[in-house]
């Protein structure tokens, strides 16, 4: 399958106010794309657009049906959308027994349902033109689930499963689907995910990024996926690649090791 030529192509990137989304928007715009950068916060989007030619800011909450519709309408007003990068996401840290129901719903609304809905809104036109690429940014937490990230991991398992199935649905129809699964990333996302409230990810309650790979490394993986298309056997990309070994956590024998590590993780979280 051919990749998408970035020059003059129309790209939607959600979660563009910071971290992976911001770096992805900047990189794709630098390669010649017209990038519709979406997020809930207007200020960071305007700063991004002012410093990066080719970026068009769109304030949108991906958990809102009206905002998703408005985002797609804005991005396709002057031409079809070539690439959708579903990057927006929120996290929550805690044990399932302590997790409020509204937080469960919030995670699935943003991380899964909003992602699927945006994909459904752009996919028919891509299929009709036999051209397009959907990139879903998930996590290595979609390979193996451990406390205290059980529900967050469940959303990323869902994204991985959706991406796998969709990729197989569109084989031979001109559209590619890639799931990019970062490990720990050097952004505020991971630090804020340690707070027991999904809304804290954009509340500015912490300004200490966690250790990990730089956000630009994930952005480069997204760019390569779009440029080179749906290479058979490479519909799932892990950043860094070595973290792809996390998929072995589902193997029965190795799963015992993960179970033991989960006990330590659970007790460490309880004592913190």
d(CA 170, CA 172): 6
Which backbone phi and psi does 2 adopt, to 5 degrees? -70, 150
With a CB cutoff of 8 Å and minimum separation 6, the contacts of 262 are 146, 147
Residue 183 and residue 240 in contact, taking contact as beta carbons nearer than 8 Å:
yes
Catalytic entry in 143, 152, 228, 234:
152
Handedness of CA 105, 111, 114, 120 (dihedral sign): negative
Among 214, 237, 219, which Cα is nearest to 31's? 219
Is 36 considered catalytic here?
no
DSSP helix/strand/coil, 136: strand
Rounded to the nearest angstrom, the gap between the alpha carbon of residue 207 and the centroid of all alpha carbons in its chain is 21
d(CA 168, CA 177): 9
CA atoms of 145 and 43, how far apart (whole Å) = 35
* Tokens linked to 83: 């690439």
- Just list the catalytic residues: 152
């Amino acid at each position: 399958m051919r990749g998408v030529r970035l020059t003059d192509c129309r790209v939607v990137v959600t979660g563009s106010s910071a971290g992976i989304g911001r770096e992805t928007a900047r990189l794709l715009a630098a390669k010649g794309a017209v990038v519709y950068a979406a997020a809930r916060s207007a200020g960071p989007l305007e700063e991004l657009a002012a410093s990066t030619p080719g970026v068009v800011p769109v304030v949108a909450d991906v958990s809102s049906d009206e905002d998703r519709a408005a985002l797609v309408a804005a991005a396709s007003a002057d031409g079809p959308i070539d690439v959708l990068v579903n990057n927006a996401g929120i996290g929550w840290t805690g044990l399932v027994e302590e997790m409020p129901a509204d937080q469960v719903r919030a995670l699935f609304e943003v991380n899964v349902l909003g992602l699927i809905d945006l994909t459904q809104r752009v996919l028919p036109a891509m299929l009709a033109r036999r051209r397009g690429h959907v990139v879903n940014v998930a996590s290595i937490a979609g390979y193996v689930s451990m406390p205290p990230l059980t529900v967050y991991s469940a959303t990323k398992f869902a994204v991985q499963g959706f991406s796998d199935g969709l990729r197989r649905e569109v084989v031979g129809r001109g559209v590619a689907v890639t799931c990019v699964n970062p490990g720990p990333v050097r952004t505020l996302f991971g630090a804020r995910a340690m707070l027991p409230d999904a809304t804290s990810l954009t509340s500015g309650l912490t300004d200490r990024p966690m250790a990990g790979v730089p956000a630009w490394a994930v952005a480069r993986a997204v760019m390569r996926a779009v440029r080179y298309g749906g290479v058979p056997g490479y519909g799932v990309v892990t950043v860094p690649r070595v973290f792809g070994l996390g998929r072995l956590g589902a193997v029965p024998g190795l799963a015992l090791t993960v179970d033991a590590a989960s006990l330590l993780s659970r007790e460490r979280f309880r004592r913190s």
